[in-house]
Structure 1
Amino acid sequence: MVAALPGGCLSADACFSHHSERFACEWDDESGEDGGYQKFGYDGEDFISLDLKNLRWHYTDQAATYEQKWDRGEVRLHYYNKLFSNICPRWLKQCLHYGSSSLQRKVPPSVSVLQKSPSSPVSCHATGFYPDRATMFWRKDGQELHEDVDLGEILPNHDGTFQMRVDLDIKSVKPEEWRRYDCVFQLSGVKDNIITKLDKAVIRTNCGKMSQTC
């Protein structure tokens, strides 16, 4: 005879289960609307969730035994309604108010043009900017380039700012055409772009300036 134990049981007299609760409140600073959600889980599966719009609970089949008891508990419903329509949005607004100077700050980067060797791609590198909503690209005669260009990821710095780079393969670019190229950095929320010309005089190599010889 084979006896099957319920899921989560270590032995016939030692069972366990996992309960979870997730909730969040939301506030739209443009429309002024607020909301949120409240969800309960059981052993990794959805169990009971709150419908804030209609102020009622939704039950899975596994939670059917709770339906009659919870539907009679109007105090619990009114508590969550007050939490998501009043208390939680007020906390959220206070947090946004106190943190706005930090969250909404705009910090421009320091931009450098780098090249490891004369045969290597030229890298336009921006570091120290905030926030991380930024774009960077190479142009020729004012037109964005998509060929011979390698855009790197935006990476975090240790001080909370960010850095990024975009490489340009210049093997087929004649020296007299360099002046037609420039690197553009755009930071979200900032009107003016940072434009850096492709110029041998400003390119930094392992030896210092490009004009120097290793």
Structure 2
Amino acid sequence: MFSRKGQDDRSIVALIAGAVRRDISFGDLPPDAKLKIEELRRRYGGSNHSVREALTQLTAEGLVEANAQRGFRVSSATEEDLRDIIRMRAELDPIGLRWSMERGDVAWEGRLMAAGHAADRATEQVLAEPEVSALAWDEAGRAFHAALMEACGSPRLIAVTARLYDQSRRFRLANLREGLCDPRAVAHRQKALLTAILDHDQHAATDHLVADIESDLARAGVR
């Protein structure tokens, strides 16, 4: 049995990890920035132990790097990093999608449609108020991606693809801030992908998914 204190501790760690993850994604904690435990504790709350546990979790996700002598820092975000993330996503995400389409039922399709609708609403909001709605737009995209993978039947593949998606978020949000990402184009690709899934066309669905993943390279001006 888990104690209430243990559950509370895990909740605090999750909250801190979520806040740091968000700030890394939005560039408030820039690449290669040192992450000092005491400064983070004052910024996010919690204890030194909970902050350290949160950073350890983010290290496992690839957003933070740990060094025995130098402590923690935000992971780098170079063009080569982006290429590597995109290459991995383009290989693994289609596997997860194919497995989801093979195993997914009507309930899964309903959840996917709901996630797509939420992403459409978020697109409308971010076009109207880019600064205010950027986080909601990004979270809606993350939820849509999670829905694509959720029926694949492999917790490990779900975890890996989610981690890679999270690692790509700061590039995507940077593109949005710099006007290099058109949310309408993203929404168009998501609709084409959803249509192919509902038509049970695996080939078209995976093609649309890979095109959307690789568009991050073009938007960033990386070749």
TM-score bracket relative to the smaller structure = under 0.3
Q: TM-score, normalised by structure 1?
A: 0.24
Larger Rg: 1
Q: TM-score, normalised by structure 2?
A: 0.23
- Higher share of residues assigned strand: 1
